[in-house]
Structure 1
Amino acid sequence: MYPYYYSPCQPPYYYPSAPYPYYAQNYRTFPSVDPSKFIVSAKEMEGLMTNASKLLAKMAESRQFSYNIMTAAQESNQAKVESLIQSTGINNIPKVTYNPDGLRLIFEAKGDTNTSLALRLRWT
């Protein structure tokens, strides 16, 4: 006898159970894998992380540098914030946005892989 679903509001509904191999089959086909673009993206990300690491190290070790960035951001002086970040010697300048809670930095690779690295730093 087939298994059934019983509800007090409806008459029992009988449904046939399919054999196990029916569920085990994979009907989806996947395209062949080509990791070349993935590898390029990973190499670009290494460069972004190097730049981000250098900037974060400067922020972490220099209280005056961090103070200057926070002050310029609170005064909405975008040019000053960007010049301070550029003064660290990184070669990939991030897009900088800030709000009363902190700073957001988005490093984007220059290639066509659309690789980016986003950092959020809080000060409140």
Structure 2
Amino acid sequence: MHRYHPFYTPIQRPQTPTWPPVNPYHTMYRRPYEYPPVQPQQFMDSAGKTKPLLDEAKLILDKVSASNDFAAKLMGAAQKADMKEVNRLIKLTGVQSIPGIKFNPDGFTMDFSSQTAHIDCCHLTIILRWK
């Protein structure tokens, strides 16, 4: 008796070959990829420039999390799309540079950025949800 139904035989599907065909000897003749030597200076500079961005983001986050009044004012200004008021409130936190600010019905996005030697090196994006 068959597993599927007592009167019908199960459908036997043919084995499909793998594509492309597998050649077991192909990997033996492949040359390993040579990577260029690493130069970590730009990477280190980016990490160093990101530290002050973290400090500025912490100022804003501390103010929002500690003050119900400030959070309500910031949300209200953002919901009214009053960028002057949003920027003024962000400056009140003590940050040196205003981050790029976007908001939508779900939340608030701040994009902090910095440059090293006129190269856009690092971004710190913080997304806060309010809905």
What letter is aligned with 2:28? Y
Distance in 2 between residues matched to 1:35 and 1:15, nearest whole Å: 39
Q: Which runs of 5+ in 1 are unaligned?
A: 1-6
Match of 1:22 among 21, 28, 38: 28
Larger Rg: 2
Distance in 2 between residues matched to 1:73 and 1:94, nearest whole Å: 14
Moved more, 86-95 or 35-44: 86-95
Q: Does 1:88 align with 2:76?
A: no
Distance in 1 between residues matched to 2:102 and 2:23, nearest whole Å: 59
Distance in 2 between residues matched to 1:119 and 1:16, nearest whole Å: 48
Distance in 2 between residues matched to 1:73 and 1:10, nearest whole Å: 58
- TM-score normalized by structure 2? 0.76
Shift of 1:92: 2.4
Shift of 1:109: 0.7
Matches within 5 A, 1:43-82: 43-82=48-87
Identity across the alignment (%): 31
Shift of 1:85: 0.2
SS at match of 2:103: strand
Q: Structure 1 residues 15, 91: closer, same or farther in 2, change over 3 A?
A: closer
Shift of 1:26: 5.5
RMSD in angstroms over aligned alpha carbons? 2.6
Q: Structure 1 residues 36, 16: closer, same or farther in 2, change over 3 A?
A: closer
Q: Does 1:123 align with 2:116?
A: no
Number of equivalent positions:
114
SS at match of 1:27: coil
**Contact 1:106 1:117 (8 Å CA) reproduced:** yes
Structure 2 equivalent of residue 36 of structure 1: 41
Q: Structure 1 residues 39, 10: closer, same or farther in 2, change over 3 A?
A: closer
